[in-house]
Amino acid sequence: MSITSTIRPPTEAPFSTRDLRVEPIVVTENLWKLYHAGKVEVPALRGVNFKVLTGEFVSVMGPSGCGKSSLLYVLGGLAQASRGHVLVDGNDLVNMGDAERTKLRRHKIGFVFQRFNLLPTLDARGNIAIAQHIYGDGFDPHRFEVITKMLGLTDRLKHRPSEMSGGEQQRVAIARAIVNEPKIILADEPTGNLDTQNSEIVLSMLSQLNKELGQTIVMITHNPEAAAYSNRVVHMRDGVIVDGVPAD
Ligand code: ADP
Ligand code: MG
């Protein structure tokens, strides 16, 4: 009898890293989002079928106005879907009220925006720590240290947003987004306000978080060079995804 067969019964499937990746963390089915501007109805999403597997880093590309931000906001519970289904970690957001969606968002989603959205009166440490307090579990020094080190922020923690470069501010925003170990990071053009050098730093850090921590990321971008950091690119047009949907 070999050593392996004494350790693991032959009927048990061998462990494979592929097994970690098969679970979809996000699924949309025929997802619609209509905005009402006075009497006019604007269909921003017109039946989106989209799936993100745990551990994926997906880019969403497409012309301005095609519905990219709307998709991200609905996935993250910031906007209410009009029709269809949005499953995040098995929870259907379409049937949830505002309070329930807010709770799910706090516990499962981390947002990163083009404009960083940091609080100007708090230093970097405060901007990151406040996310842990809102989450409700209080400050976790170990997680804080791991994340800020990975994002190269250790020497910047006492600086306020106005005392940091755009790239540093976006890294603080990423730290704030991931400090509570969200199931998924949703990033809306995270390098849209950054120069090339800072864009490269931010993108390689997102890629590192994906590879080393297995962080699932969905990122909207206009830039093919930014999209190249992800594992998969989907294209949107007129409120639908036109390609890049994985074969089932
Ligand atoms: P993208 O991020 O791809 O540029 P958006 O999701 O922001 O696209 O917008 C999709 C469509 O929905 C556009 O026609 C836009 O004008 C419209 N839209 C977005 N937000 C609103 C809103 N709050 N009220 C009305 N129309 C909106
Ligand atoms: Mg947008």
- Report the chain's mean pLDDT, rounded to a whole number: 88
Residue 17 lies in a domain: no
Residue 239 structural domain: 24-246
Ligand number nearest CA of 45 is 1
Ligand number nearest CA of 74 is 1
Percentage of residues in the chain with pLDDT exceeding 90?
Answer: 76
* Centre of ligand 1 from the C-alpha of residue 238, in Å: 11
Residue 87 lies in a domain: yes
Environment class of 16 (CB within 10 Å of its CB; exposed 0-12, middle 13-18, buried 19+): exposed
What is the tally of structural domains in the chain?
1
Residue 9: pLDDT band (50, 70, 90) is very low
Residue 16 lies in a domain: no
Residue 9 lies in a domain: no
pTM: 0.88
Residue 157 lies in a domain: yes
Of the listed ranges 3-7, 97-101, 129-133, 236-240, the one predicted with least confidence: 3-7
Residue 179 lies in a domain: yes
Of the listed ranges 3-12, 143-152, 192-201, 237-246, the one predicted with least confidence: 3-12
Residues near ligand 1 with C-beta < 6 Å? 35, 37, 42, 44, 62, 64-70
Q: Whose CA is nearest to atom 26 of ligand 1?
A: 35
* Centre of ligand 2 from the C-alpha of residue 64, in Å: 7
Residue 10 lies in a domain: no
pLDDT at 153: 95
| Closest ligand 1 atom, residue 73 Cα | 6
pLDDT by residue (tens digit) across 37-70? 889 999 999 999 999 999 999 999 999 999 999 9
Strands (E), the chain: 24-37, 40-53, 57-61, 83-88, 91-92, 109-113, 184-188, 216-220, 232-237, 240-243
Residue 2 lies in a domain: no
Residue 157's CATH number? 3.40.50.300
* Helix or strand holding residue 89 (H, E): none
Ligand number nearest CA of 65 is 1
Residue 163: pLDDT band (50, 70, 90) is very high
Asked whether 184 and 110 are in contact (CB, 8 A), the reply is yes
pLDDT at 140: 77
Residue 4: pLDDT band (50, 70, 90) is very low
